[in-house]
């Protein structure tokens, strides 16, 4: 199954911290009403 993603607007970082893991990023996003999605910054799964 092929998936595609469309992002409108300009992406921004909610928390620039290279020591945070994906679950930390999710928790930050859940507590921020204007956050609609989150992801890690680095390919090794860390950073918000």
Query: pLDDT digit string (tens) for 1-39?
Result: 444 444 555 666 555 677 888 888 888 888 888 888 888
HSE-CB for 4 with a 13 A CA cutoff: 1
What pLDDT does 3 receive?
Answer: 44
Q: For the chain, percent helix, then strand, then coil, each to nearest 5?
A: 20, 5, 75
Structural domains counted in the chain: 1
Residue 36 is assigned to a structural domain of this protein = yes
Residue 30 is assigned to a structural domain of this protein = yes
Residue 4 is assigned to a structural domain of this protein = no
**Contact between 40 and 48 (Cβ < 8 Å):** yes
What pLDDT does 5 receive?
Answer: 46
Q: Is the dihedral of CA 29, 30, 33, 36 positive or negative?
A: positive
pTM confidence score: 0.58
DSSP-derived secondary structure letter, 26 = H
Residue 5 is assigned to a structural domain of this protein = no
Q: Which domain holds residue 48?
A: 13-48
């Amino acid at each position: 199954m092929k998936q595609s993603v469309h992002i409108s607007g300009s992406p921004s970082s909610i928390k620039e911290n290279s020591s945070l893991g994906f679950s930390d990023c999710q928790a930050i996003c859940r507590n921020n009403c204007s956050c609609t999605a989150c992801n890690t910054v680095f390919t090794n799964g860390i950073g918000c």
